Amino acid sequence: MNIDAFLPIALDLTSSLVAESRYQRLLSAIMSLIPCDAACLLLWDKGILKPVASQGLVPEILGYRFLSKDHPRLELICQSKGPKRFPATSQLPDPFDGFVNGEETLTHKIHACLGCPLKISGELVGVLTLDAFDPKAFDLLEDGLLEMLGALSGATIRAAQLIEALEHRINHHGVVTEELLRAAHVRSGGDILGVSPAIEQTRQDLDLAAQSDLSVLITGETGVGKELVARAIHWQSARRRKALIYVNCAALPEALAESELFGHTRGSFTGAERNRAGKFRAADGGSIFLDEVGELPLSLQAKLLRTIQNGEIQSIGQDKVDTVDVRVIAATNRDLKLEVEAGRFRSDLYHRLYVFPINVPALRDRKDDIPLLSGHFLDKARRRMALQPARMTSALRRALCSYSWPGNVRELENLIHRILLKAMFRQKDRPTLILGAELVDFELNHGMSSVPDEEPEIRLTEESKLSLGDAVDAFKRKLIEERVEAFSGNWAAAARSLGVHRGNLHHLAQRLGLK
- CA dist., res. 1 & res. 30, Å (int): 12
Name the DSSP letter for residue 295: G
pLDDT(289) > 50: yes
Ranking 126-140, 165-179, 427-441 by mean pLDDT, the lowest is 165-179
So what's the pLDDT on residue 225?
Answer: 92
Ranking 25-34, 186-195, 366-375, 490-499 by mean pLDDT, the lowest is 186-195
pLDDT(86) > 50: yes
Share of the chain above pLDDT 90, in %: 28
Report whether 259 contacts 276 (CB < 8 A): yes
Report whether 6 contacts 148 (CB < 8 A): yes
- CA dist., res. 139 & res. 148, Å (int): 17
- Give the phi and the psi of residue 40 in degrees, each rounded to 5: -145, 135
HSE, side-chain direction, 13 A CA sphere, residue 183:
6
pTM above 0.85, yes or no: no
Q: Across the strands, what pairs with 132? A: 112
Report whether 45 contacts 27 (CB < 8 A): no
Report whether 247 contacts 290 (CB < 8 A): yes
Burial-class residue 413 by CB neighbours within 10 Å (0-12, 13-18, 19+): buried
State the sign of the Cα–Cα–Cα–Cα dihedral 430, 435, 438, 440.
positive
- Provide mean pLDDT across the span 133-159: 77
So what's the pLDDT on residue 189?
Answer: 47
So what's the pLDDT on residue 456?
Answer: 40
Count of residues for the chain? 515
- CA dist., res. 288 & res. 496, Å (int): 34
pLDDT (tens digit, 9 = 90+) per residue, 124-133? Answer: 888 889 888 8
pLDDT(465) > 70: no
So what's the pLDDT on residue 168?
Answer: 57
- CA dist., res. 359 & res. 364, Å (int): 14
So what's the pLDDT on residue 183?
Answer: 53
Burial 470-501 (b: 16+ CB within 10 A, else e): eeebeebbeebeebbebbeebbebbbbbbeee
pLDDT band at 234; cut points 50, 70, 90: very high
**Run of H or E residues at 347:** helix 347-353
Q: Is 477 helix (H, G, I), strand (E, B) or coil?
A: helix
What are the DSSP E strand ranges found in 258-360? Answer: 287-291, 312-313, 322-323, 327-332, 356-359
- CA dist., res. 340 & res. 330, Å (int): 16
So what's the pLDDT on residue 449?
Answer: 40
Please give the residue that has the higher pLDDT: either 29 or 79.
Answer: 79
pLDDT (tens digit, 9 = 90+) per residue, 488-502? Answer: 777 877 887 787 777
So what's the pLDDT on residue 157?
Answer: 76
- Give the phi and the psi of residue 63 in degrees, each rounded to 5: -90, -5
Share of the chain above pLDDT 70, in %: 82
pLDDT(481) > 90: no
pLDDT (tens digit, 9 = 90+) per residue, 5-40? Answer: 555 555 554 554 555 677 887 788 788 778 788 889
pLDDT(430) > 90: no
So what's the pLDDT on residue 308?
Answer: 92
Instruction: Give the type of residue at 107.
Output: T
So what's the pLDDT on residue 460?
Answer: 43
DSSP strand pairing (327-332 vs 216-219):
parallel
**Run of H or E residues at 50:** strand 48-55
pLDDT(345) > 90: yes
So what's the pLDDT on residue 148?
Answer: 76
So what's the pLDDT on residue 108?
Answer: 55
Beta carbons within 10 angstroms of residue 132's beta carbon: 22
Ranking 124-128, 243-247, 330-334, 489-493 by mean pLDDT, the lowest is 489-493
pLDDT (tens digit, 9 = 90+) per residue, 380-406? Answer: 888 888 888 888 888 898 889 989 899
State the sign of the Cα–Cα–Cα–Cα dihedral 300, 302, 303, 305.
positive
pLDDT band at 446; cut points 50, 70, 90: very low
Q: Is 157 helix (H, G, I), strand (E, B) or coil?
A: helix
Report whether 290 contacts 330 (CB < 8 A): yes
User: Which structural domains are found in the chain, ordered by start?
Assistant: 3-164 (3.30.450.40), 188-361 (3.40.50.300), 364-445 (1.10.8.60), 468-511 (1.10.10)
DSSP strand pairing (312-313 vs 356-359):
unpaired
CA angle 46/52/53 to nearest 5° reads 145
So what's the pLDDT on residue 190?
Answer: 53
- Provide mean pLDDT across the span 441-456: 47
Ranking 17-21, 59-63, 160-164, 227-231 by mean pLDDT, the lowest is 17-21
Average pLDDT, the chain: 81
So what's the pLDDT on residue 414?
Answer: 92
